[in-house]
Amino acid sequence: MGSWGLIGGLGAATLLLIAVFNFVIVRKRHLDLAASAIGAQLQRRDELIQSIVHACAAGQLGKKIPIEDLSATRTRILQGDDEVAVERRLAAQLHSVFADAERHPDPKVAETCATLRRAFNEVEERLSASRRAFDAALRTYNGVVRRFPTSAAAALMGCGPREPREMACETYRVDGAWR
């Protein structure tokens, strides 16, 4: 009976060890997926900003803000400059472009403006949701890698706590309201 107990104990310990490693791996994967969701939303927003720049260049929107300024801000975002400052500058520029386009006498310009504004607000909502999901996944992951016994498994796998990324803490809708 003693050898069967030893074998059963080793089997249970092995299963527990596998479960702990899998738990850490799943939390790490959730964090990576949440980060990639932010990347996907940022890509969508970049494509939309590019559409806005092209609409300005084609004369479909007003030209109060020079297109070069909007393009330069877009480039700074892609280069990863000070995200909070660049985000605020982008929001101000887009607000100005859309406000100028809304005052344009041509109804087609107003329609194009409304369509782009709705699309931009939708992307910003999704980006905000992705950032909240990332923050939740980060809190969970950091809790897992700091608590025993998962901390031992995480250390063996080379996983440690991650710091939150510096990103704009607020989302800006182009209708001028901070949330």
Per-residue pLDDT tens digits for 97-129: 777 777 777 777 778 878 888 998 999 899 999
Counted residue by residue, the chain has a size of 179
Domain count, the chain: 1
107 lies in some domain: yes
d(CA 169, CA 131): 9
Please report, for the domain that includes residue 66, its CATH number: 1.20.1440.20
Both structure tokens of 26: 């799943």
In this prediction, residue 59 has a pLDDT band, given cuts at 50, 70 and 90, of low
18 lies in some domain: yes
175 lies in some domain: no
Q: Does 72 score more than 90 pLDDT?
A: no
Dihedral, CA of residue 25, residue 28, residue 29 and residue 30, to nearest 10: 120
Exposure on the CB side of residue 56, measured as CA atoms within 13 A:
23
36 lies in some domain: yes
For 140, residues 6+ apart whose C-beta sits below 8 A from its C-beta are: 27, 30, 31
Lowest mean pLDDT among 108-122, 125-139, 159-173: 159-173
pTM, entire model:
0.73
Both structure tokens of 79: 């280069």
Q: What is the pLDDT of residue 133?
A: 94
Q: Does 159 score more than 70 pLDDT?
A: yes
Q: What is the pLDDT of residue 30?
A: 93
Both structure tokens of 11: 């089997």
Per-residue pLDDT tens digits for 141-152: 999 999 888 888
Q: What is the pLDDT of residue 17?
A: 85
109 lies in some domain: yes
Residue with tokens 């949330």: 179
Do the beta carbons of residue 48 and residue 119 sit within 8 Å?
yes
Q: Does 166 score more than 90 pLDDT?
A: no
Question: What would the 3-class secondary structure string for the chain be?
Answer: CHHHHHHHHHHHHHHHHHHHHHHHHHHHHHHHHHHHHHHHHHHHHHHHHHHHHHHHHCCCCCCCCCHHHHHHHHHHHHHCCCHHHHHHHHHHHHHHHHHHHHCCCCHHHHHHHHHHHHHHHHHHHHHHHHHHHHHHHHHHHHHHHHCCCHHHHHHHHCCCCCCCCCCCCCCECCCCCEC
171 lies in some domain: no
Q: What is the pLDDT of residue 141?
A: 92
68 lies in some domain: yes
41 lies in some domain: yes
Containing structural domain, residue 110 = 2-157
